[in-house]
Amino acid sequence: MTKRFVLLLGLITMALLIALVAGCQQRTATTGSTPGTAVPSERTAAQDEWAVCAYDGMVMKKQGMGATAEYQGKTLYFCSPEHRDLFMADPEKYQRTWQAFGDDVSFNVLPIQEHMQAMEDMGMHMEMPPGTTHHVTVCVMGGTPAGPVTDLTVSAKLTPPQGETTTLDMPLASDRKHYAANVDLPTPGEYQVEVALSRNGITETHSFVFPIS
């Protein structure tokens, strides 16, 4: 009787151990992760992405942008609802986009008064640059998550309908997120623009027409 009892107790204990192991394996498969291992957050990655304001070319984190709009199948970002409304009223007046070195390039031009007002809207005061009429911005975004590309040499040529070509060297701005220059473009009209981006001895250029008002 004693041997039978001991044998029965052993069988019951083994059955309990097998059931316990099976239950642990099922819970691990259901969660899809190893206990103690964090699951990556897609929301965190999206918050780390940068975006260009389509109105003035300023670069900010997407979560800090004040407005968005759908245009030609893409989501555009803006520093404020006012900037969105100005852009959407005449998109061709403010921005051109293309790709270079596999990255997204944005070219923006603002009359200097509008540029200064945009800075004031974001709490940044600046003095009127003497002898200039427009502010030109080039921003290059690449990587994952998307962020500013800052290892390029950037220049631009702007040719009015009648007159001489203006050549700009565009250094990194003080925030080190975009390339910018102030320029004197007193003649309004459709300008021929050529932007050159260089890296490690390789240059990619892009040409287009841009209205200067």
Which CATH number belongs to the domain containing residue 188 in this structure? 2.60.40.3340
Is 117 part of a structural domain of the chain? yes
Which domain does 123 fall in, by range?
Answer: 42-212
pLDDT at 40: 38
Is 198 part of a structural domain of the chain? yes
Rounded to whole angstroms, the Cα distance separating 35 from 25 reads 11
pLDDT at residue 10 greater than cutoff 60: no
Is 188 part of a structural domain of the chain? yes
Rounded to whole angstroms, the Cα distance separating 203 from 133 reads 28
Average pLDDT of the residues of the chain: 83
pLDDT at 3: 52
Task: List all residues 6 or more positions away from 152 whose beta carbon is below 8 Å from its beta carbon.
Answer: 101, 140, 179, 197, 198, 199
pLDDT tens digits, 145-186? 889 999 999 999 999 999 899 999 999 998 899 999 999 999
Rounded to whole angstroms, the Cα distance separating 4 from 130 reads 104
pLDDT tens digits, 69-93? 999 999 999 999 999 999 999 999 9
Rounded to whole angstroms, the Cα distance separating 213 from 209 reads 13
Is 77 part of a structural domain of the chain? yes
pLDDT tens digits, 55-71? 999 999 999 999 999 99
pLDDT at residue 117 greater than cutoff 80: yes
pLDDT at 122: 75
pLDDT tens digits, 91-115? 999 999 999 999 999 999 999 999 9
Is 21 part of a structural domain of the chain? no
pLDDT at residue 29 greater than cutoff 50: no
pLDDT at 95: 97
pLDDT at residue 32 greater than cutoff 70: no
Is 10 part of a structural domain of the chain? no
| Percent above pLDDT 90 for the chain | 64
pLDDT at residue 28 greater than cutoff 70: no
Is 28 part of a structural domain of the chain? no
Task: List all residues 6 or more positions away from 199 whose beta carbon is below 8 Å from its beta carbon.
Answer: 101, 151, 152, 153
Residue 185: count of CB within 10 angstroms of its CB: 20
Residue 178: count of CB within 10 angstroms of its CB: 23
pLDDT at 184: 95
Structure tokens at 27: 């819970």
**Domain tally for the chain?**
1
pLDDT at residue 39 greater than cutoff 50: no
Q: Are strands 153-159 and 189-199 parallel, antiparallel or unpaired?
A: antiparallel
Is 13 part of a structural domain of the chain? no
